Structure 1
Amino acid sequence: MRKISIFIILFLALNFPAQSLFEIQKLESLCKVWGFLKYYHPNVSKGTFNWDEQLFQKIDELEKVNNKQQLNELYSNWIESLGAVNKCKDCLKKENKVYFLKNFDLSWINNQTYFENNISKKLQHIQNNRNIHENHYFGKDGRKVFFRNENSYGSKFISKKIGLLELFRYWNYIEYFFPYKYKTDQNWNDVLTEMIPKFLNINSDKNYHLTLAELVAKTDDSHAYLFSPLISLNQYGKRKVPIEYSYAEGKLVITKILSTKFNEENPLKVGDVIYDVNSLTIPQKINAFGKYIPASNTWGKIKKVKNLFLFSNNDSINLKLERDGQNLALKVKTYLSKDIISEKPIAPEKWKFIDSENKIGYVNMGVIEKEDLGEMYKNLQSAESIVFDLRNYPKKTIIPLSRILLPESTIYYEFNFPDTNYLSKFYSIKNHIGTKNLDYYKGNIVVLVDENTQSQAETTTMMLKQHPKAKIIGSNTSGANGDIISFRIAGLATCFTGIGAYYPNGQETQRIGIIPDIIIKPTIKGIKEGRDEVLERALEYLNTGL
Structure 2
Amino acid sequence: MKKQSLSLISLTKSIFLTCSISLTLSFFSTLYAQTTTAAPSTGSSITLSQVNSQQTEDLVLLGKVWGFLKYYHPKVAEGTLNWDEELFKVMPQILAAKDKNQRNLTLYTWAKSLGEGHTTVVKDTLAVRYQPNLSWINPKTFGNELSQLLLKTTTYERKPDNHYVKIYSEDMPLPYFKNEAPYSSFKYPDAGYRLLSLYRYWNMVEYFYPYKTTLKESWDSTLKGLISSFVTAKDEMAYKLSVAAMVAKIQDSHVVLSIWAEPLLYEFQGKLKPAANVVFVGSKAVVSKSLADATNDAKELLRGDEIMSINHQSIETILKERLPYTAASNYPTQLSRIATNLLRTNDTVMNLTIKRGDAVKEITIKTLPWVKAIVKENENEPSFKLLSSDIAYLHPGKLQVKNLDSIMKIAMKSKAIIIDMRTYPRETMFTMAVGNYLFGKSSAFCKMTKGSVTKPGQFSYLSDSYMENIKIGKDTSDYYKGKLIVLANESTQSFAEMSLMAFKTGPNTTIVGSQTAGADGNVTPPIILPGNIRTVFTGIGMYHLDGSETQRIGIVPDIEVKPSIAGIKNGQDEVLEKAIAFANRN
- Residue matched to 1:450: 489
- Residue matched to 1:274: 307
- Residue matched to 1:500: 541
Contact 1:206 1:230 in 2 (8 A): no
> Which one of the candidate residues 215, 218, 222 is aligned to 1:187?
218
- Residue matched to 2:132: 104
User: Take 2:507 and 2:347, find their aligned partners in 1: how far apart are those partners?
Assistant: 55
> Which one of the candidate residues 52, 59, 76 is aligned to 2:84?
52
- Residue matched to 2:394: 363
Pairing 1:223–2:263 present: no
For the residue of structure 1 that corresponds to 2:137, the secondary structure is helix
1:136 is aligned with what amino acid? H
Unaligned residue ranges in structure 2 (runs of 5+): 1-47
For the residue of structure 2 that corresponds to 1:374, the secondary structure is helix
Closer/same/farther in 2, CA of residues 245 and 300 from structure 1, 3 Å limit: closer
Closer/same/farther in 2, CA of residues 532 and 62 from structure 1, 3 Å limit: same
For the residue of structure 2 that corresponds to 1:485, the secondary structure is coil
Contact 1:486 1:493 in 2 (8 A): no
Pairing 1:433–2:471 present: yes
Could you report, residue by residue, the CA deviation over 1:171-199 in whole angstroms, capped at 9, with x for unpaired residues? 00110011111111111111111111211
TM-score by length of 2: 0.84
The structure whose RCO (Cα within 8 Å, separation 6+) is larger is 2
Q: CA deviation at 1:119?
A: 1.0
User: Take 1:307 and 1:25, find their aligned partners in 2: how far apart are those partners?
Assistant: 39
User: Take 2:357 and 2:116, find their aligned partners in 1: how far apart are those partners?
Assistant: 78
- Residue matched to 2:37: none
- Residue matched to 2:101: 69
- Residue matched to 1:4: none
2:105 is aligned with what amino acid? E
Closer/same/farther in 2, CA of residues 30 and 508 from structure 1, 3 Å limit: same
**Paired residues for 1:342-421 under 5 Å:** 346-355=379-388, 357=389, 359-394=390-425, 395-396=427-428, 397-421=430-454
Q: CA deviation at 1:77?
A: 2.2
For the residue of structure 2 that corresponds to 1:314, the secondary structure is coil
- Residue matched to 2:22: none
Q: CA deviation at 1:493?
A: 2.3
User: Take 2:72 and 2:187, find their aligned partners in 1: how far apart are those partners?
Assistant: 31
Paired residues, what number? 519
- Residue matched to 1:8: none
Q: CA deviation at 1:339?
A: 4.8
Pairing 1:152–2:182 present: yes
Q: CA deviation at 1:523?
A: 0.7
User: Take 1:283 and 1:378, find their aligned partners in 2: how far apart are those partners?
Assistant: 50
User: Take 2:475 and 2:576, find their aligned partners in 1: how far apart are those partners?
Assistant: 31
Unaligned residue ranges in structure 1 (runs of 5+): 1-15
Tell me which moved more, 483-492 or 187-196. 483-492
- Residue matched to 1:122: 149
Q: CA deviation at 1:422?
A: 1.0
> Which one of the candidate residues 274, 283, 287 is aligned to 1:254?
287
Q: CA deviation at 1:267?
A: 3.2
- Residue matched to 2:45: none
TM-score by length of 1: 0.90
- Residue matched to 2:364: 331
Could you report, residue by residue, the CA deviation over 1:491-520 in whole angstroms, capped at 9, with x for unpaired residues? 122111111111111111111111111111
> Which one of the candidate residues 477, 487, 499 is aligned to 1:460?
499
Contact 1:389 1:448 in 2 (8 A): yes
Q: CA deviation at 1:343?
A: 6.5
Contact 2:304 2:565 in 1 (8 A): no
Pairing 1:302–2:335 present: yes
For the residue of structure 1 that corresponds to 2:535, the secondary structure is strand
User: Take 2:487 and 2:410, find their aligned partners in 1: how far apart are those partners?
Assistant: 20
Closer/same/farther in 2, CA of residues 335 and 508 from structure 1, 3 Å limit: same
For the residue of structure 1 that corresponds to 2:537, the secondary structure is strand
Q: Percent identity?
A: 33
Tell me which moved more, 218-227 or 202-211. 218-227
For the residue of structure 2 that corresponds to 1:466, the secondary structure is coil
For the residue of structure 1 that corresponds to 2:548, the secondary structure is coil
Larger fraction in strand: 1
For the residue of structure 2 that corresponds to 1:471, the secondary structure is strand
Q: CA deviation at 1:303?
A: 1.3
Could you report, residue by residue, the CA deviation over 1:306-353 in whole angstroms, capped at 9, with x for unpaired residues? 111111123332211123432101222323225547569744311111
User: Take 1:19 and 1:376, find their aligned partners in 2: how far apart are those partners?
Assistant: 65
User: Take 1:75 and 1:255, find their aligned partners in 2: how far apart are those partners?
Assistant: 57
Contact 2:279 2:336 in 1 (8 A): no
Contact 1:223 1:497 in 2 (8 A): yes
**Cα RMSD between the aligned structures?**
2.3
User: Take 1:406 and 1:343, find their aligned partners in 2: how far apart are those partners?
Assistant: 35
For the residue of structure 2 that corresponds to 1:63, the secondary structure is helix
Closer/same/farther in 2, CA of residues 376 and 505 from structure 1, 3 Å limit: same
User: Take 1:256 and 1:457, find their aligned partners in 2: how far apart are those partners?
Assistant: 25
Contact 1:209 1:230 in 2 (8 A): no
User: Take 1:343 and 1:443, find their aligned partners in 2: how far apart are those partners?
Assistant: 34
2:558 is aligned with what amino acid? D
User: Take 2:298 and 2:576, find their aligned partners in 1: how far apart are those partners?
Assistant: 35
- Residue matched to 2:161: 134
Contact 1:393 1:454 in 2 (8 A): yes
Q: CA deviation at 1:389?
A: 0.3
1:299 is aligned with what amino acid? P
1:118 is aligned with what amino acid? E
Closer/same/farther in 2, CA of residues 344 and 268 from structure 1, 3 Å limit: closer
- Residue matched to 1:9: none
- Residue matched to 2:35: none
Contact 2:78 2:163 in 1 (8 A): yes
2:110 is aligned with what amino acid? W
Contact 2:452 2:459 in 1 (8 A): yes
User: Take 2:55 and 2:268, find their aligned partners in 1: how far apart are those partners?
Assistant: 31
- Residue matched to 2:173: 143
